[in-house]
Amino acid sequence: MKTIFGKTLGILSALVLGLSFCFTGAMLLVMNSLYYETNSRDLGQSARSLSALADLDLSAEHAGTDKLFAALTETPYRLTIIAPDGKVLADTRGSPNSLENHRHRPEVDAALRGEALTIRRRSRSLGKAQIYAALPVYDSAGDSVQGVFRLSVTIPSFWARVAPGALPFLPAALILSAIAVLGVWGFARSLSAPVSRLSDLAAAAGRDRPEPETLPLPAVTDVREFNELDGTLRSMAAELSRRIDRAESQSRRLEAILGGMNEAVFALDTELKILLVNPAARRLFAIPDTPGSRSLLEVTRSSALEESARRALARGLPSEEATEPELAIPGDGGTRYFRVYAAPLSGPEGALEGLVMVLSDVTRLRRLERVRKDFVANVSHELRTPIQLVKGFSENLLDTDFSDTEQTRRFLKIIHRNARRMEDLTGDLLLLMNLEAGDGPGLELEETPLKELLAEAAGMARAAADKKDITITLSCDEELNAKVNPSFLIQGVFNLLDNAIKYSPAGTAVELRAFAKDSEAVIEVADQGPGIAPEHLDRIFERFYRVDKSRSRKAGGTGLGLSIVRHIALLHHGSVEAESHAGEGSVFRIRIPG
């Protein structure tokens, strides 16, 4: 990039030299024009004088040209006599017969029309630049043109005439040009020196934190404006340093406040482009450290939140109430729920410049509230029957004298069985509630050999299997490992085994097998029970869903076992599925990523 000195020197030097060259060039062009104009005028006058003296009569044999031609032989002039048809009748430079027809020469054509014409052009016959003066030759009556009297001369170019005389002045011109450039150099230096000092001062004042003692010395100059500018820049540097201190202090306080908030904070412009986000918003919506000019919709992928922001902008007034009491925003980790608060951003003139939005995450509260409601509803529904049975048979016991021991034992067994059912149901409900809320203990996953866990689950189900003479077979490679939570996985496999034992006929077998497939660990429990119709397979893992309610209650199930299995698989980022046909047994499968 050019300096002010270099640019000033270049511009002024170019201006001085350019003006000199332009003046010289213009003067030479004028002189060139005058040179040719003078020669053309002189030639025209000579042609008229010679024509008048010759008193030509082209009808005569010699036309009176012999003496004239003899007189012009030793001169630079060339005389040509041309007939009306363009044929050359006589020429001082050669034989007329050797010359081509001149009818279409411009000066000849003009003279044949009765016009005298002086013109400068290149001669076709001589190959040189010449000036031609052509005059019409009239008959004795002066009525018609008998021919053309043409006088021409070869003249050297103007530049050839001027150059020898101009060479002695060239050194003087160069010396004057050098003096002019030196003068320009001195002027440019006197102008650029204080400007350079002021530039250094401005650069120092524009640093992150300019200090008065680090600024350059004042620019000494006799130009008042430069001195005033120096003082102004120093005052600005001091004020800038004070403002930077205040801004940094405010920025640190704001950063600490925003960083300590659990709520997501967005600062938006009037087009809902992101100006600022706090760390909580970055975590919730996976926003990069520099969101750039991305819009609120691009970051949150929620048209509902965008619409809420537009309504807040249109309203333009802050509100202590939530803009949206509860807004659902879908994301990669599932739908989250937020309370949204909004306040306008105003500029110095009070004009609306944007919006601040605060999103309070109430997903956990909403989930816990839903779990609580479901828990109360499920407990009320599932405990009603056993409670009624316990109440009814206990009242029957109170009405007896206990003399009938067999009847008393039957009543007590019914009461005990329903009490156990209530205990199992309560335990399953509490476990399911913890799983759904994500609050289960020991959610850490660790690399574990699966065969040990499957063997432990099979051992837990062995007592129930022995009562029905059911054999549990285990098939698993010793080297098969997976990242699991051992206690939860054992619980899930046990639930599948317990479910298979309950619905399998006595004397059959239940297979427990595990293997690796497509980067997954697959655990299967296969029974030889009555099977499940295809229309029930999609809902078999829902809470309290039963294919055959009467058979399920008779088997003693709570209706929560398979739902617990599904939630345990989800905690492992896996999935569950069932494969069955009526009357052909069932296969329940857990898939866990490798």
Say what the pLDDT of residue 511 is. Answer: 94
Say what the pLDDT of residue 123 is.
74
- Region of residue 41 (phi > 0: left; psi between -120 and 50: alpha; otherwise: beta): alpha
- Start-to-end C-alpha separation, the chain: 61
| Shared-domain flag, residues 349 and 467 | no
The residue among 461 and 125 whose pLDDT is bigger is 461
Residue 305, in any domain of the structure: yes
- Claim to verify: residue 573 and residue 484 sit in the same structural domain: yes
Structural domain for 379, as ranges: 367-437
CATH number of residue 94's parent domain: 3.30.450.20
Q: Is the pLDDT of residue 55 over 90?
A: no
Residue with tokens 């934190």: 209
In a domain, 284, yes or no: yes
Q: Most confidently modeled of 154-163, 238-247, 265-274, 441-450? A: 265-274
Assign 575 a pLDDT band (cuts: 50, 70, 90).
Answer: very high
Residue 537 lies in a domain: yes
pLDDT band for 5, please (50, 70, 90 cuts).
Answer: low
Residue 234 lies in a domain: no
Last residue of a domain, one of 105, 133, 155: 155
What pLDDT, on a 0 to 100 scale, did the predictor assign at position 474? 94
**pLDDT at residue 289 tops 60:** yes
Instruction: Determine the Cα–Cα distance for residues 389 and 248; give it in Å rounded to an integer.
Output: 73
Same domain, 285 and 345: yes
Of the residues 361, 380, 398, which one is the last residue of a structural domain? 361
On whether both 492 and 577 belong to a single domain, the answer is: yes
Enumerate the H helices of 206-285 as residue ranges.
Answer: 224-259, 279-285
pLDDT digits (tens, 9 = 90+) for 257-288: 888 888 889 888 888 888 888 888 888 888 87
Q: What pLDDT sits at residue 130? A: 82
Q: How confident is the model at residue 232 (pLDDT cuts 50, 70, 90)?
A: confident
Across the range 193-218, mean pLDDT stands at 60
Asked if the structure places residue 226 within a domain, the reply is no
Least confident residue range of 137-151, 248-262, 316-330: 316-330
* 459 and 569 part of one domain: yes
In a domain, 163, yes or no: no
Query: For all residues of the chain together, what is the average pLDDT?
Result: 78
Q: Is the pLDDT of residue 587 over 90?
A: yes
Q: What is the pLDDT confidence band of residue 469, given thresholds at 50, 70 and 90?
A: very high
Shared-domain flag, residues 486 and 573: yes
Tens digit of pLDDT for each residue in 326-376? 788 877 667 888 888 888 888 777 788 888 988 888 888 887 787 677 767
Whether 288 and 377 map to the same domain: the answer is no
Distance CA 562, CA 263 (A): 37
Say if 8 falls within a structural domain.
Answer: no
> For residue 534, what pLDDT is reported?
83
* Cβ proximity of 581 and 535 under 8 Å: no
State mean pLDDT over 563-584: 87
The two structure tokens encoding residue 265:
């904070």
**272 and 320, same domain (yes or no):** yes
Examine the pLDDT at 178 and tell me if it is beyond 90. no
Q: pLDDT-derived band of residue 437, with 50, 70 and 90 as boundaries?
A: low
Q: Which of 325, 344, 361 marks a domain boundary?
A: 361
Co-location of 525 and 500 in the same domain: yes
CA dihedral sign of residues 192, 193, 195, 200:
positive
- Total domains in the fold of the chain: 4
Same domain, 431 and 459: no
pLDDT band at 9 (very low <50, low <70, confident <90, very high): low
- CB within 8 A of 118, min separation 6: which ones? 40, 41, 43, 44, 47, 107, 131, 132, 133, 134
pLDDT tens digits, 474-510: 999 989 999 998 888 888 899 899 989 988 999 999 9
Closest CA to 356 of 450, 270, 246: 270
200 has pLDDT over 80? no
**CATH number reported for the structural domain that contains residue 499 in this entry:** 3.30.565.10
Long-range contacts of 178-186 (CB under 8 A, 24+ apart): 180/13, 180/16, 180/17, 180/20, 181/13, 181/16, 181/17, 184/9, 184/12, 184/13, 184/16, 185/9, 185/13
Q: What is the CA radius of gyration of the chain?
A: 57
Same domain, 452 and 587: yes
Question: Which whole number is the average pLDDT over 87-116?
Answer: 83
Does residue 322 have a pLDDT over 70? no
Regarding whether 586 and 490 lie in a shared domain, the answer is yes
Residue 385, domain CATH: 1.10.287.130
Given a cut of 90, whether residue 471 has pLDDT beyond it is yes
Region of poorest pLDDT, from 113-117, 321-325, 450-454? 321-325
Phi, psi dihedrals of residue 559, rounded to the nearest 5°: 85, 10
Token output for 353: 């410049």
pLDDT attached to residue 56: 67
Phi/psi for 57 (5° steps) reads: -130, 100
Residue 480 lies in a domain: yes
